[in-house]
Structures are given as C-alpha cells and as structure tokens.
Amino acid sequence: MKIKVGSIMTVSLIALALMGLVGCSSSDSAAAPVAPAAAAPAQASSSSSYVPAAPAQPAAPAAAAAAPSAEVEATKKVSAKPKQTVAKTVTEFEGGTRGGVMKINTQKWFQRWDMTTRSHWSSTQGLNRHYSGVLQFSPRDGLTVTPDLAKSWTLADDLTGSTFVFNEGVKWHDGEDFSVDDVIYTINRWQNPPVGVAQPRVAGLLLVDSMLKVGDNTLQIAHTKPTSRILPAMADSWHIILPQHILEPAGGVLSTGEQVIGTGPFKVESFSEGNNVVSVANPYYFHNAPDGSPFPYLDGITGIAFANNDLSAAALVTGQIDYYTSLTPSKSFPIKEKRPSIVITRWDSPGFQGISMNTTKAPFDDLELRKAFACGLNTHAIAELSSTPGVVPMEFRQISFFGTADPNYENVASLKCVDPAQREANEAEAKAVFKAKGITEVEFDTDTLDDPIGTIVQQQMKALGVDVKIVISEVTSAREKAYAGDTTLFFFGQAVASKSPVEIINQIYRPGAGFELYQATPPAKWSELLDQLDMATLGSEEEKALTAQMDTIMWEEWMPKVPIRRPDEFQVKQDYVRNIDAIATAKFIQSRFVDAWMDK
Amino acid sequence: MHQYILRRLLLLPPTLFFLGTILFFMVQAIPGDVASTLLAGEENAVDPKTMQKFREELGLTDPMIVQYGRWLAQTATGDLGYSYYFSKPVWDQIKPKIETTLTLAIFGIIIAVVLSLPAGVFSALYRGSLFDQIVRTISAAGMAVPAFWLGIIILLILSRKIGWMPPVIHSSIFDNPVDAFYRYLFPSLILGFRSAAVISRMVRSMMLEVLSEDYVRTAWAKGLQPRAVIVGHALRNALLPVVTMFGMLVATLIDGAVVLETVFNLPGIGLLMVDSVIARDASMVLGLVLSIGIFMMIWILLIDLSYKVLDPRVEYD
C-alpha cells in the first residue's frame, strides 16, 4: 500500500496542533513541591524527666572485645571528628565477630528513597540504618524509650509540653553539623508535606502543636493535648530526622539515593537502584557501645532487594546473603539442610492476621451471622495450621482487636468466643445459625495465590455447612474491591507488629493514621480511655489497667457493631534465618543494626 | 529512500498520539490509583477524607477529559510527566533501567541468532535426519515452556543441587563485566533460547523453499563451493522474511524481559513496569509504554531499511 507523504504530513500536523491546543488550555499536572510552613513556637513547663546516666569510659582494648551489652545505653560521648577506631578489620570475640560486611535481604526494593512516604516495612529495613530519630525504642526489647539524637527529655507536669535536649557535635553523613532546626524542619515536613508526598506514618507526630528552639541544642514542644505519648511518637522508627540543608533546596522532596544523608550508624556508599544499597560505617556516628567501643560494630551493610522469594532463598542457600527475615518455615528448613551453619530463630511477635467481614451487605449485615462466623471459626487452629507441618507448632495467644497491646490476652482468653474449652459449643451454635439463615455459600477474596488462611477457612466453614469460594485477585485490585465494599470476606493479610505495641497505638489510632479504614467509630468511653492512656506513664500499672478496659469495650461493645470486622486476629510468629546475634534479631528489622555482629 | 524514511518518521507522532490515547483511557479504567497505593495500598490505611484531599492535590479528582488534556499537553512537549509513586520525573526513573533491559535483550538476540541460524540451516540441509528431528523437538519445547517456569527451575537446580547461583548484587556490564556476565547469562539464555526456537523453524522452512529454487540449482551446477551456494545464495534470500520475523521478536524479547527481570532480580524496564502497574502509577505506565512504542517504531524502521542490504532489488516507494 502506498502512502502519500502529503497526507502523512497533514495527519501529523493536525495531531501536533491538537496536542498544542490542549497543552495551552490545561494546567500543569505536577505542581511544584511546597516547603512546609514554619510552626509557631510555644512554651512547655517541665517536671517529669529523663536524665541519662553518666557515659561509660572507653574500655581497654581487651575489655572492648567483650560481648556487647544487651541494652542500648544512654547518651554516649559525642565526637565532632570522624572516629578512627571504627572497626575496619574483622575482630573475633567471645560472642562472635566484629567488623566485616553483612549482606542482608531487604525484601522487595523499597521503591522510594524517602522512607517516610511509605508504610511498608521494606523501607525501614532498606533505609533506617542511615538515620537517627529524636528518640528510639531499645533494639533489645522494642519497648523502652531510649535516647537517640536527644540525650535527655522532660515532660511537663500537666503533659501539655515536652523539652528535648540534643547531643552536641552530631554531624550529617556529608559532614554538615546537625542542629535542632533539622528536627523542627522534619516535624513540619511530616505535618505539612510537599504536594504529592504521602506521609502515611505521621501518626503520633500529629500530637506536636508547635515547637520552640531554645539555645543551640534544646527544643520545646507544645502538645495538641495533654499526653505522654509524644515520647513513643518521637521514638517511632519511622520518625527519622532528615537534613534540612539537603531537602529544603529540593523543595522538600527526597527522590534520589544521593539525598539519603542521615546521622545514623551507616552511610550510603553506593547503590544500584532497584537492587542494592551498599552502606559503610559512619565515622561520625555519635553513639558508642556501653563499653565505650565505637558503634557500629560492622564495617558495612549491603542491603539487597529481591523481586521474589525463590531468588532470595536461593541466595541464602548459596551464601550470598547472611541475614533473612520473614522466611516461611516451608522454605527455611530445607535451606538449613543445605546450609547447616544457618541459625533459624523464631520470634514471638505481636503480629496479627485478619479477615474482614463486610457488614454493609448480605450476609454479614446480620449481627447473628457475624457472631456465628467470628466464633465458629477456630482461630487457634488457623494459627497452628498456617504454620508448616513438621515445624514446632506456634504458641498461640489470641490478641485483642486491632492488637492494641498484646499482653492483654489474659483479658480476652476467657471470653466464650475465644475460650478453647467452648470450641465445640461455638461450632455447633454457628452451624445452627448458618443453617437457620440458609447460608450455604460465601465468597472469600484474597490477593494471595494458594492462600493457606483461605484454604483453612474453607475447610472449617465446610464443616459448618458453608461452602467458601476463594476469589484471587491481583493485590491492588483486591484491596480496591475491599475498600469499595464489594467483598464479603476479605483476607487483609498479615501485619507484623515488630515494634512495640505502644507504637501500634500511635500508628493506628491517631487521627489520619489509619484506623478509619475499618470505618469503625469507637464508643465514646473507649475514646475517653484513649485520652487517659495518653496521660498514663509508659509501662505503668495504670497503663495496663486502661488498656485492659479498652480491650473489654472493644470485644463486648465495639466489635459487634463495626461495619468491617476483623474477628479472627491471632498472634503469629515470624521465622528468621540469620547468622547474627539471636537476642537482637527480632528487633533488627526496625532498628539500625547498630550493635549487630556476625557469628563466628 | 530518504523520502521513505521521512514519511515513516512523520508517522511517529500520530501513531504515538493514538497509542497514548488508547493507553491513557485503558490505564484509567483499572481499579485504584497512585493515591490509593501511596496512602493505603501497602501496609497502611487512611481515612477517606485524607485520601480525598490527597487525590485532589494530585489532580486525580479532575474530570477524566481534563486529566487527559493535561497529560497530552505535557507529553506533546516531550515531558513524560512526574511519578508520585517514585517521587521523581518519569524519565529519570526510566533512564537508569534502560541499560539493564537493553543488555538483556542484546545478549538474548545474540544467543538467539547464534543458536537459530546454524540450527535452521543445517536442519534444512539435512532434512529428515536425526539432527533435524532433534532441532525440531527442541524448538517446539522452547516455544511451549514458559520463561518464568524455566527461570525458576534453573535457579532451583543451581542453588539446591549445585550450590551456586549468579551474583545477586547487580552490576553494570561496564563496571564489572565478569559479575554482569554471570548475572545476565541465564536470563539471556532463556530469552535467546525461546526466540531461537521460533527463528530456527522459520529459517528451516525458508531454507527448504529457497534450496529448491532454480537459481540455487544453477549455482550448484556452476560448481560453486557449498559455502558460497548456501550462505551467498540460499541463506541470503531465505533471510528476508526471517529478518521481518526477527524484528517482531524484539517485542517478544521486551515482553520476556518483564518476566525474566522479575525472576532473576534484574532492575530493568520490565521490573519497573510490573511495579508501576501494581502501584497504579499511571504516569509511569504511560511513560514506559510510550518509550517502548517509540523504540519499537524506530526498530521496525531499521528492520525495513535492512531489506535493501539483504536484497538490492527492494525498492522503497
């Protein structure tokens, strides 16, 4: 077929003209990022306070080679100059080996260099080691609030404000001085992000009403309401402090690996986008080990992302990675057979899995049916069966709705719906309800191929006289379907609360922090208790009593009414394959590998 | 010929316009958007008001025709847009991935050519022989076996049985050729093998046809060396349709790269495409498809122009 040049040119010109016309009549789609507004300062009176212990004296070389303490100590000596003592050679000691480079699996690539814009934990695992927070949770227990950039803090008597005193002489990885202005800039950015920059984990930082810099190294914060929860908010592993001098010129947008400049124990040396980040020990790092030896112990960490689990498992078998989190038992045990030096650690995590019932449409708009489903399912069995046969069964502990605070199992264990002794009665009752209501089939939406939970639910429901049809969709479509209210049963997947329950509260319950997903309005009494919890001392008996009351309300008043219910949350345990310190492994996920070392 | 090239180049903008338009509306039809992914699609959830505000900020609540006009205007200036998912301009995200996919595709093409041409030619020359039957069986298997399956099987055999696998840390072919060779070896082999399966059958059938032509018989009768007859007369004429087929196979190679980059952890265009689709990053998906579209049109033009080299009788009208 012959085509005339003239006609082609005419078509092209018309098309170009059309494009030009449309271009002239429309606005720019990508608005320029906006710098966050400066916050108004406020005063905070003081009383309840934390003052660090005196820093340990540097130990003699022989003593320095002893195993690191199990607790991250308070403020350590700060040096303005790069340390010369950071391990550059491998040193063996009683507990393992210091120095060297550890290669870790950071799951999938974290997609964005700005870890504050993601809620997926691959971001913290990929990037957290480069940063510090105002405070941090102890990498050992995940609960105790310990110093980080701030060396001490004070809470006002009436909890309306707090004061943080920062370490002096802290430097960014590029050698610039850290200042309190960076903290103010970062918190402002969290609260007022540039256009298009999501901050899904802002959570507890919304408790900051205003900030005032006092002198060179003190920050006073006024709270939006009386609360002590500002401390866990500041220690939240997502709430890293970012460099103002890097971000401000870029309009607040962190979009390249070169901009990953922190004050953390490791600094980015090189990266291959989509595959790996090579980090080396930060010679400016301001924390020392309790024995005075410099942190971090390792010379470097190389984080490698894998597009799929088969490949990362193969990398573990062949020794190309040293540390792997979240490997399922079915994959980890065969690997150990091939590579006996691997140590598998099981970790008791306050994580939970959830199946939502759509209560805005039939059949689960019927309260009786919701109860039948919630109590008819044997969640204990689900927890055990979702583990692989041959592996020691997981210790099961039912946790409360939303997993407010996992130690509250005892408070709900005796509830009829949960109590294992009532199981047979619960199942018989549920079966009778399904039969009476004529429910013979329901759909179960999931985004996971061969979803074991779906299969188990299918088997259990079959025994209750109901056929479960499993519908598998691609992840985003499945979620969109659930958000649109088009699902009947939907497997929300697993949320591993690898950090403290206190953090979970901050993430889930704060305005804009996410719990609205479940379209659940708490009873007024529960909200009152949350306010009281804000003012309770962390870890106190008062706190425990309040959370227990909240759990009771959740189970007895709130849960039966919420539109989308997650009736079968249960505790699971994560399985780890690693060859580093067993005690710390569980918490390294969210921590900065500051005191990680290699096994001999 | 110059006029022909000019005409083909002038066809690019309208073709891209129609391609882009169709794609734009297809992408919009998929459930979910980048705001949903950023705020609620990973491990978090957000209240509907916050989500709505965020969508408004990104212009996702504007009427579709307004969004289309905005996208068209921006694309007409050569700007592929901004990816809110990756927090950077679309092209800045695509650019560093090109080397990986191109390396994989080039290796795949080389392997495909090296395997398919001799296999096809000798299969035709020794028609019905054991060699011919083996080639035909292997090529049938190559077309039937899915690339991802083959990739996973190779990985499992290497790691579990042999205790070795290619390096997992990605390196550029220019920075670390040895590591890069091992990283690309298996995906390239799979990619090349699958393409070779198709091409070898094509070469075989074309060679069989050409070998029975009068001019080939004449060449034999003239007493020319077998190499001159087979390569100079038969193969050269048999290659014309093969080259067309080969041009089309590059599209298949890109398609295969999407799968193999995921299986072998190669951070290229394919993996980026998968991530972008899952993230509902419309800007990135459109940018990627348009970039691939431009590349394919130029590639096909080059293939068309190569006919003249293979057969001087070809005229471009």
What are the pLDDT digits (tens) for B200-215?
A: 998 999 999 999 889 8
Least confident of A28-32, A581-585, A596-600, B53-57: A28-32
The reported pLDDT for the residue numbered A522 is 67
B61 touches chain A (CB under 8 A): no
Euclidean distance between CA atoms B201 and B188, whole angstroms: 20
pTM assigned to the model: 0.74
Euclidean distance between CA atoms A169 and A177, whole angstroms: 7
Nearest-Å Rg of the Cα atoms of chain B is 24
The reported pLDDT for the residue numbered B137 is 92
Least Cα separation, residue A28 to chain B (angstroms)? 7
CA atoms within 13 A on the CB side of A166: 27
B63 touches chain A (CB under 8 A): no
- Tell how far CA A467 is from the center of its chain: 36
Of A335, A344, A297, give the one whose Cα is nearest residue A100.
A297
Least Cα separation, residue A268 to chain B (angstroms)? 15
Q: Is B237 a residue whose pLDDT tops 60?
A: yes
- Per the CB < 8 A criterion, the answer to whether A592 and A266 are in contact is yes
The reported pLDDT for the residue numbered A139 is 65
Record: contact B46-A111, CB cut-off 8 A: no
Q: Is A38 a residue whose pLDDT tops 50?
A: no
Read off the pLDDT band of A45 (50, 70, 90): very low
Q: To which H or E segment does residue A551 belong?
A: helix A541-553
Give mean pLDDT, residues A167-177: 96
- Residue B272 identity: L
Record: contact B37-A121, CB cut-off 8 A: no
Largest CA distance in chain A: 88
Record: contact B72-A29, CB cut-off 8 A: no
Per residue, the 3-state secondary structure of B294-315, as one string, reads: HHHHHHHHHHHHHHHHHCCCCC
Q: Where are the alpha helices (DSSP H) in A212-280?
A: 230-235, 244-247
Euclidean distance between CA atoms A344 and B287, whole angstroms: 44
Q: Is A164 a residue whose pLDDT tops 50?
A: yes
Across chain A, mean pLDDT equals: 69
Least Cα separation, residue A11 to chain B (angstroms)? 7
Nearest-Å Rg of the Cα atoms of chain A is 26
Q: Which of residues 506-535 of A touch B (CB under 8 A)?
A: 507, 511-512, 514-518
Least Cα separation, residue B46 to chain A (angstroms)? 4
Give the model confidence (pLDDT) of A398-455 as tens digits.
222 222 223 334 445 566 766 778 889 989 999 999 999 999 999 988 877 766 677 8
Give the model confidence (pLDDT) of A453-500 as tens digits.
778 888 889 999 999 999 888 777 777 777 677 888 877 655 544 333
Give mean pLDDT, residues A94-123: 79
- Per the CB < 8 A criterion, the answer to whether A500 and B29 are in contact is no
Place of tokens 């309190």: A180
Euclidean distance between CA atoms B132 and B153, whole angstroms: 27
CATH code, residues A132-253: 3.90.76.10
Q: Is A339 a residue whose pLDDT tops 60?
A: yes
Euclidean distance between CA atoms A508 and A566, whole angstroms: 14
- Per the CB < 8 A criterion, the answer to whether A506 and A229 are in contact is yes
* A191 DSSP assignment: H
Residue B277 to residues A158, B258, B263: CA-CA distances in angstroms?
50, 12, 17
Give mean pLDDT, residues B222-231: 88
Place of tokens 């189970």: A555
Least confident of A254-258, A448-452, A538-542: A448-452
Give me the total of CB pairs closer than 8 Å, taking one residue from chain A and one from chain B: 221
Record: contact A476-B47, CB cut-off 8 A: no
Q: Which of B65, B169, B176, B317 to mutate to test the interface with A (most CBs of A within 10 A)?
A: B169
Q: Is A588 a residue whose pLDDT tops 90?
A: no
Give the model confidence (pLDDT) of A46-92 as tens digits.
345 666 554 433 333 333 333 333 333 333 333 334 443 333 345 55
Least Cα separation, residue B31 to chain A (angstroms)? 6
Place of tokens 């390294």: A588
Give mean pLDDT, residues A108-128: 83
Domains along chain B with CATH numbers = 2-90 (no CATH), 92-310 (1.10.3720.10)
The reported pLDDT for the residue numbered A404 is 29
Euclidean distance between CA atoms A137 and A234, whole angstroms: 9
φ and ψ at residue A446, rounded to 5 degrees: -150, 160
The reported pLDDT for the residue numbered A140 is 61
| Cα nearest neighbour of A2 on chain B | B317
Q: Is A239 a residue whose pLDDT tops 60?
A: yes
The three-point CA angle A7-A8-A9 to 5° equals: 90
Give mean pLDDT, residues A179-195: 95
Place of tokens 């979910």: B32
Least confident of A227-231, B38-42, B63-67, B129-133: B38-42
Residue A165 to residues A49, A148, A242, A263: CA-CA distances in angstroms?
11, 11, 18, 16
Give the model confidence (pLDDT) of B151-178 as tens digits.
888 888 888 888 888 888 888 888 888 8
Least Cα separation, residue A140 to chain B (angstroms)? 24
What percent of chain A is predicted at pLDDT more than 90?
25
Task: Give, in words, the CATH class of A90-131+264-342+579-600.
Answer: alpha beta
The reported pLDDT for the residue numbered A329 is 57
Record: contact A119-B10, CB cut-off 8 A: no
Hey, do A90-131+264-342+579-600 and A349-573 end up sharing a CATH topology, with the first three levels equal? Answer: no
Segments making up each domain of chain A, as ranges = 90-131+264-342+579-600, 132-253, 349-573
B42 touches chain A (CB under 8 A): yes
Entry field: residues in chain B: 317
Read off the pLDDT band of A380 (50, 70, 90): low
Record: contact A5-B10, CB cut-off 8 A: yes
CB nearest A117 (choices: B69, B87, B268): B87
B51 touches chain A (CB under 8 A): no
Record: contact B76-A474, CB cut-off 8 A: no
Least Cα separation, residue B305 to chain A (angstroms)? 16
- DSSP 3-state of A357: strand
DSSP codes of every residue in chain B: -HHHHHHHHHHHHHHHHHHHHHHHHHHHHSS--HHHHHHHSSS----HHHHHHHHHHHTTTS-HHHHHHHHHHHHHTT---EETTTTEEHHHHHHHHHHHHHHHHHHHHHHHHHHHHHHHHHHHHTTTSHHHHHHHHHHHHHHHS-HHHHHHHHHHIIIIIIS----SS---TTT-HHHHHHHHHHHHHHHHHHHHHHHHHHHHHHHHHHHTSHHHHHHHHTT--HHIIIIIIIIHHHHHHHHHHHHHHHHHHHHHHHHHHHHHT--SHHHHHHHHHHHT-HHHHHHHHHHHHHHHHHHHHHHHHHHHHH-TT----
Spell out which residues of chain B touch residue A5, defining contact as CB-CB under 8 Å: 3, 6-7, 10
Q: Is A15 a residue whose pLDDT tops 90?
A: no
The architecture in CATH of the region A349-573 reads Roll (3.10)
A510 against B67, higher pLDDT: B67
The reported pLDDT for the residue numbered B249 is 79
Record: contact A317-B265, CB cut-off 8 A: no
Record: contact B70-A197, CB cut-off 8 A: no
Record: contact A318-B44, CB cut-off 8 A: no
The reported pLDDT for the residue numbered A83 is 43
Q: To which H or E segment does residue A337 belong?
A: helix A329-338
